[in-house]
Amino acid sequence: MPRAAADQYVSNIRRPDDIDRFWEDVLAETARIPLDPEVIHDPMRSTDRIDVYEIFFTSLDRVRIAGWYAVPRHHDGPLPGLLQVPGYNMEPPVPKVWAGKGYAALSVAPRGKLRSNRQFNPGYPGLLTYGMVDRNTYSYRGFYMDACRGVDFLLARDEVDGDHIGVTGHSQGGGLTVSTAALRPEIKAAAAGAPYLCGYLDSIELTDAYPYQEIADYLRLYPERREQVENTLAYFDGINLAPSITCPIIVSVGLQDSTCPPETGFAMFNAIGSTDKRMYAYDGHGHDANNHEHGAVVDAFMAQHLQA
């Protein structure tokens, strides 16, 4: 039977009645932990136009999180802030490109990434299934908070305009863009590329590619835990978090993406609460989601909402 059009897909994901309360509690627990930021100038990575800093802050469970922070060396008045969140297997880049476009840019390395793995390091593969039988032990509980604490870091900086903060990322970064925009109303613009972490259990039926197949492998080994896994993942699924997004948001998918099925991207997009949303679906593209050309769309979108 031919596969239905991605934009017609209907997800089977169930939204927990208490999902909002769950995340309110997690955010409150995180907020009680002092941020304790550390900012170290990096002259080797800085240029005559951009200052680069290695940064650290404390997140949920008092895990110390690293990142790169870049700002234009010469600027008049407060800068719009931009949070860049990483893919599953990638390390956070030094965000000098965004700083060159006039942003105070933070590229955060959530727990398990290099420089943030001394206290928590489930490995890759491993992160996606770590603690998956309980919403209070699942790895992404802390991972989502690490991205949210990046917003706290930007808000604490004197040079950042706290009323103009955006978030962007691709793949897992796209999923983190969704969760951060949903959980932090301070986000005023979001751009999610080929979003991962949307339709977890849909995806293991739609693709046999990894990382999602880590879940399928786990369930083959522990079939008796399926109900626990389904209950846990429902709290972290971008489809279930999307109704809380109220800021302007753009989403891109590749219609031939075998890593993050486009069906799940459409399901998440349709669930977004914001009325200011736009989908860019690129035929002939896989997991790259035409990022080479779509990057200009993201640039213009962020400039419109954060620099106007």
Active-site residue list: 171, 257, 292
Nearest by Cα to 243 from 275, 268, 272: 272
Task: Count other C-beta atoms under 10 Å from residue 33's C-beta.
Answer: 16
Tokens of 147: 């991205």
- CA–CA gap between residue 144 and residue 197 (Å, rounded): 11
Strand 104-109 relative to strand 64-72, pairing: antiparallel
Residue 88 CB partners (closer than 8 Å, separation 6+)? 124, 127, 128, 171, 172, 196, 211
CB 167 within 8 A of CB 132: no
Give the amino acid at 279.
Answer: M
d(Cα 148, Cα 182) in Å, to the nearest integer?
A: 10
- For residue 145, the number of C-alpha atoms closer than 13 Å in the C-beta half-sphere is 27
